[in-house]
């Protein structure tokens, strides 16, 4: 698996191949799969993402009762034209919340990279597919870009809250989504990596402190944060704003921060929000 975004950028400059194709060829070679079969498998994954949104039902509640109906609230305000952030960013937020909620309610989702962060990547891809005239093939290619970025983060650092905090879940998902968006809007490999770096920088240090240890609070709402952060990172990149720290070094910083993080805020349900008076009370109530 690719272990540096710099390698992808170099290969792209040498061969003229797009980012997604470099990721696809690398993964097919590793797994001895033919590219066509792999691409169709990725298409099925994209369709599973759109299906996970179509499946949304605002009346569902999670096992603890803490999650459900949030996405519909944003949808109502968006449709009334009353969101401060406007229609497009509102739609991104809405999709991220809806898919995150569905996950908490034991519905079918695509872990990208994890189940807890499953709303981020589909939120930006589906929202831009409604706004622009992208073909399904282009959206599947964007998923390869996201997968390539996530793969590098996994190789250099981690993709699990228990290992590196929420920066390794929502942070990674946001970096993946930012890169995918940048690719769709014509960014080259260096710009894709730059967008991923900007997105991850914004979420470095984010703790994994879920109340009662469940993938509910604050996980669902952090999906909205990660998705919107991806949009701003892609826009900054496309406007020519550069990350002063190179992308691979940003990922390495995430690893260092994750290693230094106290176990109480790495998915143990002990510290942070889980450890607040209210968090502890909720945890007690659920256990009874």
Q: Specify the residue, 71 or 113, whose C-beta has the smaller distance to other proteins.
A: 113
Q: Name the one range near other proteins by CB under 8 A: 4-12, 147-155, 184-192, 224-232.
A: 147-155
Residue 151 touches other proteins, criterion: CB under 8 A: yes
Which positions from 197 through 226 interact with other proteins, judged by CB under 8 A?
Answer: 212-216
Residue 266, strand partner residues = 208
Q: Does 193 bind other proteins (CB under 8 A)?
A: no
**What is the distance between the alpha carbons of residues 147 and 164, in angstroms, rounded to a whole number?**
19
Which of 53, 128, 159, 191 contacts other proteins by CB under 8 A?
159
Question: Of the candidates 191, 256, 267, 226, which has an alpha carbon nearest to the alpha carbon of residue 121?
Answer: 226
**Which residue's entry shows tokens 């093939």?**
137
Work out whether 195 is an interface residue with other proteins (CB under 8 A): no
Q: Which distant-in-sequence residues (6+ apart) come within 8 Å of 44 by Cβ?
A: none
Q: Are 124 and 180 in contact (CB under 8 A)?
A: yes
Q: Interface with other proteins by CB under 8 A: which range of 5-13, 73-81, 104-112, 251-259?
A: 104-112
List C-alpha distances in Å: 229 to 30, 79, 128, 200, 236: 32, 22, 15, 9, 11
Select the span of 87-95, 112-120, 193-201, 255-263 touching other proteins (CB under 8 A). Answer: 112-120
116 part of the interface to other proteins, by CB under 8 A? yes
**What Å distances lie between residue 136 and 92, 98, 253, CA to CA?**
18, 22, 35
Residues that bind other proteins (CB under 8 A): 1, 23-24, 27, 30-31, 38, 41-42, 44-45, 48, 62-64, 102-116, 118, 121, 143-144, 146-148, 150-151, 154-155, 159-160, 162-163, 176, 212-216, 269, 286
């Amino acid at each position: 698996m690719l272990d540096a975004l710099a390698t992808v950028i170099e290969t792209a400059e040498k061969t003229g191949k797009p980012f997604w194709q470099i990721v696809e060829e690398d993964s097919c070679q590793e797994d001895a799969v033919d590219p066509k079969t792999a691409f169709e498998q990725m298409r099925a994954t994209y369709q599973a993402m759109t299906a996970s949104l179509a499946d949304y039902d605002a009346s569902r509640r999670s096992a603890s009762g803490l999650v459900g109906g949030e996405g519909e609230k944003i949808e109502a305000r968006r449709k009334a034209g009353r969101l401060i952030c406007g229609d497009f960013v509102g739609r991104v937020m809405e999709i991220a919340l809806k898919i995150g909620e569905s996950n908490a309610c034991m519905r079918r989702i695509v872990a990208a990279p994890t189940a807890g962060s499953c709303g981020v990547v589909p939120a930006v891809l589906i929202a831009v597919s409604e706004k622009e005239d992208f073909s399904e093939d282009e959206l599947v290619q964007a998923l390869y870009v996201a997968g390539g970025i996530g793969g590098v983060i996994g190789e250099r650092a981690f993709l699990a809250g228990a290992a590196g905090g929420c920066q390794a879940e929502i942070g990674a998902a946001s970096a993946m989504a930012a890169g995918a968006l940048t690719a769709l809007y014509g960014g080259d490999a260096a710009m894709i990596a730059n967008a991923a770096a900007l997105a991850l920088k914004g979420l470095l240090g984010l703790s994994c402190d879920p109340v009662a240890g469940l993938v509910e609070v604050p996980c669902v709402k952090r999906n909205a944060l990660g998705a919107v952060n991806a949009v701003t990172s892609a826009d900054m990149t496309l406007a020519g704003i550069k990350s002063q720290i190179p992308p691979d070094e940003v990922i390495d910083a995430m690893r260092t921060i994750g290693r230094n993080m106290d176990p109480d805020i790495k998915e143990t349900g002990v510290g942070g929000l889980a450890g607040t008076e209210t968090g502890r009370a909720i945890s007690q109530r659920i256990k009874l």
